[in-house]
Amino acid sequence: MAEISLAISVQNVSFFYSRRTRLLNRRRGEWILQNVSLDLREGECIGIVGESGSGKSTLAHVIGRQYRAQSGEIFYGGKQNFSRKEFCRYVQNIWQFPGDALDPLWSIGKTLREPLKIHFPDLSRLAVEEKIKELLHGVSLDDSLLQRRPSALSGGQKQRVALARALAVGPCVLICDEVTSALDMPVQWEILNLLNILRAKQRLAILFISHDIAAVAQVADRVIVMQKGKIIESGPTAEICRHPHHRYTETLINEVLAMRI
């Protein structure tokens, strides 16, 4: 059996948010992440759950290189040094509000065409157009949407376009930060099912961040529970959901169950 490689390895990462106060012009702040470590394997989905302020989205930004950690190391496929273009080919981010991530003046066709032109400049025009249609079909959208702008799409369609754009460069890792929380329940399950299908087909490694442990349970092989910037519990998804060891995890599960009733 072939050895499964690590897509991302996070080692003892800490992040301190600093702000300058008016009083005596001193800097104050707090630790948002404290010695966080995790390994994400090729083809695996890890769910990161926690309440607002737990540090889960900050971790996503640190791994996605929007923030720089004060300490610790992160390896991407065993490497640390990437050019910006190489990193964009390796890791792609999908955010909570797809409408904010899509240029309102660009058609869907142009939105998908741009990353292909940047990362695959040798592709012919015909090959680009065929790839665009393939990307749309891959996220269960019709190519009749190519001429439309984001304002003409539903929330679920926008999130599918954002996913198609992320997949255009052939990434190894997807970071999904609250990607279903702004969607209606039926659309949420459609997006979660789509992520499962794409992961199986393309061997994607997915980091799925959410406050909703029920959504995480639909896609994640393993769950990491965060509180106040620390990992307090982790393990196989089914085990954590059925037999949580930490009271905080129990609270997260009970809150979701109460909402579903």
CA distance 125 to 73: 41
Q: Which residues, other chains included, contact 180 with Cβ-Cβ below 8 Å and sequence gap of 6+?
A: 159, 187, 188, 191, 192, 210, 212, 215
CA distance 177 to 179: 5
Q: What is the predicted pLDDT for the residue at 135?
A: 95
Q: What is the predicted pLDDT for the residue at 260?
A: 57
Q: What is the predicted pLDDT for the residue at 259?
A: 60
CA distance 10 to 30: 21
For 155-201, give the DSSP string. HHHHHHHHHHHHHTT--SEEEEESTTTTS-HHHHHHHHHHHHHHHHH
Regions of the chain where pLDDT drops below 70: 1-4, 19-29, 257-261
**What does the pLDDT look like over 131-149, one tens digit per residue?**
999 999 999 999 899 999 9
Q: What is the predicted pLDDT for the residue at 1?
A: 42
Three-state DSSP class for residue 31: strand
CA distance 141 to 9: 34
CA distance 47 to 72: 21
Q: What is the predicted pLDDT for the residue at 89?
A: 93
**Which phi and psi angles does 174 have, rounded to 5°?**
-115, 130
Q: What is the predicted pLDDT for the residue at 184?
A: 86
**What does the pLDDT look like over 204-221, one tens digit per residue?**
999 999 988 989 999 999
Q: Which residue has the tokens 């950690």?
A: 69
Angstrom CA distances, 150 to 108, 116, 125, 129, 226, stand at 7, 19, 23, 19, 34
Residue 39 contacts residue 46 (beta carbons within 8 Å): no
CA distance 253 to 241: 7
Q: What is the predicted pLDDT for the residue at 41?
A: 96
